[in-house]
Structure 1
Amino acid sequence: MPLTLFLFIVGVGLLVGGAELLVRGASRLAGSFGVSPLVVGLTVVAFGTSAPELAVSVQASFDGRSDLAFGNVVGSNIANILLILGLAAVVTPLVVSRQLVRLDVPLMIAASVLLYLMALDGSISRVEGIVLFIGVVTYTTLLIRYGRRETALARAEAGIESAPPGGPWVANAALVAVGLGLLVLGSWWLVNGAVAIATALGVSELIIGLTVVAVGTSMPEIATSVLASIR
């Protein structure tokens, strides 16, 4: 059990470190190709901080542990709203933009309702998975278009023609590669550790996924949100 806990904690650490390297490298890489910081924030940072959940859920799915994969996703979303936003608001009150209230929050609720309806029959099929994936691609595309339009207007008003370089692309690509490697290794250790903990405690993998694994994979969001609220 002590070794299992150690591997679980190390797995969480690797996930957090991998996500940090992935976000840093991808952000700089995007900057080196002239992508605006706004678009990077809407896409790279958002997906990068969710990389641990993705890595763990994919690993759990490959291992045939659906409860752990599904529990991680649902638990992480609950933790994102209740734990992360709660902590950030405790540190300092948060200002909510009208766009979030009018568009993003309703979309989040709609996505949750859609997931609920899909899960009523006890499974998420490949077709339903494709529908969910198309949804996030569409949403991301709209965000990128909106971000580019807003950034272009801001640059035109300021008289700026291009974005500043993001640094050597080879080094940034290396950061992305190392980050992905840490995510894969960390997810493997975390999943195996979570399964062992569930077995030792006599609880289901779903409960472990909804609680311990969900909070562990939400560490990047916790750090990002709390630091952002302080700044």
Structure 2
Amino acid sequence: MLIDLVVLILSFVALVWSADRFVFGAAAIARNLGISPMVIGLTVIAMGSSAPEIMVSATASLSHRLDTAIGNAIGSNITNITLVLGVTALLKPILVASSTLRREIPLMLLATVLTGFLLSDNQLSFMDGIILISLFIIVMAYLIWYSQRQHRHQQAMKDDAKDEMISQYEAEIPKQVKTSYALFWLLVGLIILPLSADYLVNAASNIARYFGISELVIGLTIIAIGTSLPELAASIASIIKKENDIALGNIIGSNIFNLLVVLSVCGILAPGKIDPAAFARDYWWMLATSAAVLGFSLLTRPRRITRLAGALFLVTFIGYQLMLFL
């Protein structure tokens, strides 16, 4: 038990570190190849915080632990909103100024509703995976098209009229990095990511069996919280740097990736039946918290996530965790 706990902690550290190195290398190579910083920001950088969830869920699926993979995806979305966004908003209210972000939030809710429809039969099929990955491609194509159109439209406008989130993402992309150096870190990330994910899933499963906890719950709690650490660190860092749009954009982007990429990977690699509680209980928490983000950020004036909203999210996180364990 003690060895599994040590392995779990070390695996989380390796997972988060290797995901960061992977994104660094991929973003630097993409910039060196002449890919638009705007496109890199909306794809590679946005994907970075979901890399742990993608790798853990893929590993769990291939190990015939589909419930752990499903729990990781759903639990990460709940944790991203209730814990990560809750803590971030308590530190500083988040103003939703980016027009791109105001389109991502309804898309996140749309993806959540579609996911509920697909999981309502208590199974994740190969076709479900194809539907989810197809929607992901459509969503990303739309966001890239819209952002590029906005960028062209704003070329002649004043700087303060430009979409701040795109500008902030562009500033995060590594500059003047040698391709060989970037390739080295890309390969390091590609090697350590799956290895750390494999150790993490095995250790978490052993701990779940020791305490008599279902694999779904271990995915919803320990693994989901651990794989959400990059979002928490990134959002707090963004608030400190006064990059409000990235602070929220990381969370929304990660949730979209978790639903449309992480779950699609599960369905394509290891389709099968899932624990009925995933839809009957946990999905509705995910839907409610996602709808709350839309309500707090877009249906209020001014559009912002206040400290009160942050406190409510954090209380919800604590209540949800207590419900699972008790």
TM over 0.5: yes
Which residue identity lines up with residue 24 of structure 1 in the other structure?
A: F
The residue aligned with 1:120 is 120
Q: 1:54 to 1:24 in 2, by over 3 A?
A: same
Matched-pair contact (CA < 8 Å) for 1:32–1:164: no
Q: 1:101 to 1:221 in 2, by over 3 A?
A: closer
The residue aligned with 2:269 is none
1:116-155 map, 5 Å: 116-152=116-152
C-alpha distance in 2 between matches for 1:165 and 1:15 = 24
The residue aligned with 1:212 is 222
The residue aligned with 1:187 is 197
Q: 1:149 to 1:29 in 2, by over 3 A?
A: farther
Q: 1:41 to 1:98 in 2, by over 3 A?
A: closer
The residue aligned with 1:50 is 50
The residue aligned with 2:103 is 103
C-alpha distance in 2 between matches for 1:166 and 1:151 = 23
Q: 1:152 to 1:103 in 2, by over 3 A?
A: closer
Q: Within the alignment, does 1:201 sit opposite 2:222 as a pair? A: no
Q: 1:188 to 1:83 in 2, by over 3 A?
A: same
C-alpha distance in 2 between matches for 1:195 and 1:115 = 25
Matched-pair contact (CA < 8 Å) for 1:92–1:230: no
Q: Alignment partner for residue 185 of structure 2, among 175, 181, 185? A: 175
TM-score, scaled relative to structure 1: 0.91
Q: 1:157 to 1:35 in 2, by over 3 A?
A: farther
Partner deviation per Cα, 1:127-169 (whole Å, 9 max, x = no partner): 11001001111111222223334445566779xxxx9964221
C-alpha distance in 2 between matches for 1:166 and 1:9 = 34
TM-score, scaled relative to structure 2: 0.65
Q: 1:203 to 1:164 in 2, by over 3 A?
A: closer
Q: Secondary structure at the match of 1:121?
A: coil
Matched-pair contact (CA < 8 Å) for 2:27–2:174: no
The residue aligned with 2:314 is none
Q: Secondary structure at the match of 1:167?
A: coil
Q: 1:126 to 1:166 in 2, by over 3 A?
A: farther
Q: 1:59 to 1:133 in 2, by over 3 A?
A: same
Matched-pair contact (CA < 8 Å) for 2:75–2:219: yes
**Further displaced range: 107-116 or 195-204:** 107-116
Q: 1:111 to 1:164 in 2, by over 3 A?
A: closer
Matched-pair contact (CA < 8 Å) for 1:34–1:165: no
The residue aligned with 1:221 is 231
C-alpha distance in 2 between matches for 1:74 and 1:114 = 13
Task: Count the aligned residue pairs.
Answer: 227
Q: CA RMSD in A?
A: 2.1
- Bigger RCO (CA 8 Å, 6+ sep): 1
Matched-pair contact (CA < 8 Å) for 2:8–2:203: yes
Offset at 1:76? 0.3
Matched-pair contact (CA < 8 Å) for 2:19–2:49: yes
Contiguous gaps of at least 5 residues in structure 2 = 159-172, 242-326
